[in-house]
Amino acid sequence: MFENYKKAKKAVLETTLELLSKNDLQSTSMSLISSQSGVSMGSIYNSFSGKEDIINELYTSIVAHQTAIVLQDFYNDSDIHTRFNQVWRKVIQTCIDYPEAFQFMEQYSLSPYIYDKSKKEAYDNNWCGPLSKLYAEAIHEQMFKEADPRLMVQMHLGMVVNLIKGHLQGNIDLSPELVDMAIHSCWNSVSTSKAFLP
């Protein structure tokens, strides 16, 4: 996930993410990050101003990583329904493949530790924007009902997030059939009679 970072910075980010999946932020001290990552305190402070800076770097890098995966092959000539399915499958699979990152985003996305600049960067550049344009295209083609495309995406994301939580907690078996049903339900929840699927 942090392949674009230099070795020491990558180790700090990976270690912090792992520690935060098991401990709260207060218990995750800089000295613990240093000892667990094998990166000296001096090297850490050469890259980060402090723990909040590490948290914000995690936040923006996780968003960028998920966005790169979700939007891979998104800009092609496939029809709207195919691209809709493709994106939501990748969103779900990315959350399953990187459970610690999913947990971090759920826990810290509304945290005061996340700078406004980081939140704005994540909002402006994440995969929801391009997907909203796909929804807008579907509205223009009278396949989706008239509504705010970004709001539609957020509504569907809320449902997906709850499914992922249930899966990671061991309460839901997120089988391929259930994924199919979830994406199918998302499509039909906003579609017009022209595009409604049986």
Average pLDDT, the chain: 96
Query: For 138-146, which contacts have Cβ atoms below 8 Å and span 24 or more sequence positions?
Result: 138/80, 138/84, 138/191, 138/195, 141/80, 142/192, 142/194, 143/80, 143/191, 143/192, 143/194, 143/195, 144/190, 144/191, 144/192, 144/195, 145/190, 145/191, 145/192
* pLDDT tens per residue, range 76-96: 999 999 999 999 999 999 999
Q: What is the pLDDT of residue 43?
A: 96
Could you tell me if 60 and 124 are in contact, meaning their C-beta atoms sit under 8 angstroms apart? no
Q: What is the pLDDT of residue 190?
A: 98
Nearest to 103 by CA among 35, 47, 167: 167
Q: What pTM, to 2 d.p., does this model score? A: 0.93
Give the CATH H-level superfamily of domain 71-190.
Answer: Tetracycline Repressor, domain 2 (1.10.357.10)
Could you tell me if 12 and 47 are in contact, meaning their C-beta atoms sit under 8 angstroms apart? yes
